[in-house]
Amino acid sequence: MPTAARDAILAWYDATGRELAFRATADPYAVLVSELMAQQTQAVRAAEAWTGWMARWPTVVALAEAPVADVLRAWAGLGYNRRALSLHRAAHAIVADHGGVVPADVATLVTLPGVGPYTARAVAAIAFRVPVGAVDTNVRRVLGRIVAGGPEAFTAAEMQALADAVVPPDRPDAWTHALMDLGARLCRPARPRCADCPVVACCKYAAADRLTGDAAATSARSPRATWRPEPPFPSTRRWLRGRIMARARDAEDGAWVAYPEAIGEHPAHAVREAVMTLAAEGLLEARDRDGGPEARLPS
């Protein structure tokens, strides 16, 4: 990637970057919380939840000492409850194995529960200003399009090498946020807003035949992917798991909740299976009764 393109992205971010609450801090624990919250959750929603979370558990020690049931209740609305459990377990590991200090290097960060390669690099870059590239779907798409016309031109290892190579050594934190904003706001999977992109002049995706002339100016209205309807949300296992967890959250501390009947489009046997799976994952305590399973948040 040309240095001029990198500078243009940073200048665009400096002028238009989203003002999200968690971007105002470089505290490693706070950054770790924000990164786990923002996985598969809209950044604005994650920022709102992050503010309340940090007020309640301002340190990694405070989180490690919190009852897991309280942590799961506080995660309501963020989805993928396993992330809450992983964050709680990561806090325990940081306190037990690292003296309550979030590790700074990627190799150690990835050993924490729930922390994969992307999250480890994001925390290292944002909190410790280590010049590493955090690669998720957004970043893969942005860099792949700019450099080669699309991310399919790179293997995972090649993309990681590219992401590491283009990080500005003096601003890895801002660069991480900038690529995320670019992917979320302009360089979208479908209907990318190429005409508004700060690097349209040197982007190989924008230079391709499909985005020449009038197409480049109207790319915001030109779909790039074939849309296929998704199954109705209530029919999914994720929806069912969310309803089961919501009932457990709403119960009084320690109270068992019965799940004897169908929930939405899911018959009783599917509900039983989902409850037991959630228990096996550590998200619930469950007991199987003749009339149906009962469950509660872990104590």
**Shortest CA distance to 91 belongs to which of 105, 71, 107?**
71
Q: Could you say which of 19, 35, 65, 158 is catalytic?
A: 35
Cβ–Cβ under 8 Å, residues 106 and 163? no
Cβ–Cβ under 8 Å, residues 106 and 67? no
Q: Kindly state the helix (H) or strand (E) to which residue 295 belongs, with its residue range.
A: strand 292-296
- 35 assigned to active site: yes
241/220 Cα distance (integer angstroms):
36
Kindly give, in sequence order, each residue whose CB lies less than 8 Å from that of residue 171, ignoring residues fewer than 6 positions away.
10
Enumerate the active-site residues.
Answer: 35
